[in-house]
Structure 1
C-alpha cells in the first residue's frame, strides 16, 4: 500500500511567506483550510503534501503556477531541510555521492518522491518524480522544489554559476521569461514523463570542497518512517485543535477511512491507539520543559479535562505526568 504523501511544514512556509508578501490574508486562508491553523509555529511537523500544494495553488490563484513554484523554490535552501538531511549531504566527498544522498534523503523530506538515474552519453539524468500529481498546475509547484534542490546540491560542488544541461517537468505549464532568464542556456521542457535534470558526468565526479565530517552519522535508512510513524507525524499538528477523527485523517492522507482502518488492523494497531500514542509522545516532549504547566499541556493536546489526560498518560507510561517530569529533570 502506498505510504501517505507527507512533507515537512518548513516546505509549506515558503509558499506562505510569498502569499503574505502579495497581500493574501494567510490566517483567514488557513482557518478555511484542512491544514493545522498554527502550522507556522511547527516547521518540523509533517503535513499532507497534496493538501499543502492544493491549498497554496488555490490561495495564490492569481499567480502563474510556474512562476509561483519557481519563486518559492528560489527561497528554499539547506536551512529548510532537516538537520539529518543537511548533515548527510555535507558529509559527501564527491558530487556523485552528494547527489545520491540528495536523491535518497529527499524521500525523507517528501514521502511522495520516487528517484532513479541513468546515463545519456556523457551525461547522467537524475530523475525525481512526484507521485500523487497528474501533471496539472499543482504539479509544477511540487516539481520546482525538487528541481531547485538538485540544482543547489550540484552548485554546492561545482559553484554558484553551474547550470544543468536540461530541466524536464511533468507539468504542462509553460515557464515564463523569468525562468528562462534564470537558467541561461539550459534546455527546459514541459509535459515530459519525468521530473529531472541532466548533468555532465564530469561534474558529478568533482570532489566536494565543503565537507563537514562531524555532521551526522545517520544513514538514509535510519530516517525512513513506516506507515504508523507517518500517520503520527500527520496527526501531531492537529492535536491543538482537538484530535482529528479517523475520517478526517483518512481524507488528509488521501485514502478512505475503511482502507485506513484495514491497514492499521493488518499492522496490529487501532486508530484510537495511534492517536493516544501520538498525544503521549508529544506530551513527553512538552513535560521536559518545567516552564510549561501540566494543565496547559493537556489543553494544547486537545484534552478538555486535565485529569483525563493524566489518567491516559499514566496508563500508557506507567507514571503520572508529574512523576514523569520529575524523572526527566533528575528530581527522583
Structure 2
C-alpha cells in the first residue's frame, strides 16, 4: 500500500500569502486542487503533501512568480512550528539537545519528513528528507521550508540574524540571482542526497535564548505549570549536593497532589526528570566556565555520584565531554596578543 503523506496546513499558508500579495486568484487555485480555502482556520490540520507541492508549482508557473519556495520560506517563523516541537525546543538547554528534538519530532510537521544530524569536520549538517516524493516536480519548494525550519530552531540559540554558511537541496535547483542577493553570505549546493544547512560544532553548546512562555491548560487551584517549572529551577540547585527531593516531596512542598503536580508539568511540556537533568547541566556548565574545580568535584556538586555518568549526561547536552567544554571556554577567554 502506498503511503499517504500529509503536511500541516500551516506550511501552505505562506505560499497562499505570496499569491495574495500579487493579486493572484488564490482561492480558485486552492479549490481547483481540492485544498481548503480557509487555511488560517485550519493551520494545524493536515493536507496531502503532493497537493500542497502541486499548488506551489502551479502558482509559480501560472503567475510568473520567481522562487516561490524561497519567498514562502521567508514568511515562516518559529511560532508556525507545531506546539509539540516548539515546546521541545523551548525546554532544550542547548542547541545540541534542540537539534536532537527537531530530529525526533519532525514528522509532526510533515508525516513524510525525516531529519538527522551528520558530522562534517568542524560542522554539523542538519539534514531533512521527504519520503515518497522523488517523482514530484520542483521539490525545492518543500526543501526551502525544511531548511528554514531548521534555521529557526538554531536562531532560538544563536540569535535572530543567524544564517547558515551553506544551504543544500536534493534536486537540480539553482536559486535565482534575486534570492542569492538576499542570502549573500550563504553558499548554495544542489544534487545532494538530502536537504541540509550546516552549523559550526562550536555552537552546539549555545544556551537557549527562547523566552516564549508555554500556555497552561490546568484549571486546578495553585500555581500553573510554568510557575512550578520556574520555582523548581530556582530551588533545585540548593539540593544538588545533598538529598535531591523526590516527586512526592516536591508536590508536598507545592501544596498539591502528586497527580496534579505531574499534570501541571505535562501541560508545561516537561517532566520532573527533564527538569532535574537540565538543572544539573546548568549547574555543571556554570562551574566549568567560572571555576577551576576538578571535574569530579563538579560532578558531585551537580548531583552525580558517578563521574562516568556525569560525563555521559553532559555529552548528551553538548556533544562534548566536560573537559572539552571547559577547554573551549578557557580558549575564548584568552586575549590575543
C-alpha spacing 1:3/1:204, structure 2 compared with 1 (3 Å): farther
1:41 matched residue in structure 2: 41
**Larger relative contact order, structure 1 or 2 (CA cutoff 8 Å, min sep 6):** 1
Aligned to 2:121: 121
* Deviation beyond 6 Å, 4+ runs, structure 1: none
Q: Is the 8 A contact 1:143 1:169 kept in 2?
A: yes
SS of residue matched to 1:162 = coil
Shift of 1:140: 0.5
Say if 2:15 and 2:56, in contact at 8 Å, map to a contact too: yes
- Partners of 2:31 and 2:161 in 1: CA distance: 42
1:10-51 deviation line (CA, Å, top 9, x unaligned) = 111111111111121122222222223444432221100111
User: Which structure 1 segments of 5+ residues have no match?
Assistant: 220-332
* Greater Rg by CA: 2
Q: CA RMSD in A?
A: 2.4
Q: CA, structure 1 residues 37+183, in 2 after alignment: closer, same or farther (shift >3 Å)?
A: closer
TM-score normalised per structure 2? 0.59
Residue of structure 2 in register with 1:111 after alignment: 111
C-alpha separation between the residues in 2 aligned to 1:37 and 1:144? 23
Question: Which one of 217, 235, 239 corresponds to residue 269 of structure 2?
Answer: 217
Q: Pick closer, same or farther for the CA change 1:78–1:163 going to 2, 3 Å.
A: closer
Q: Normalising by structure 1, report the TM-score.
A: 0.60
Deviation at 1:218, TM superposition (A): 6.5
Q: Equivalent residue for 1:70?
A: 70
Cα gap change, 1:66 to 1:197, in 2 (>3 Å): farther
Q: Distance in 2 between matches of 1:198 and 1:34?
A: 37
> 2:301 — aligned with what?
none
Question: Post-superposition shift, 1:84?
Answer: 2.0
Displacement of 1:171 after TM fit? 2.1
- TM-fit CA distance, 1:82: 2.2
1:61 aligns with 61
Number of residue-to-residue matches in the alignment: 219
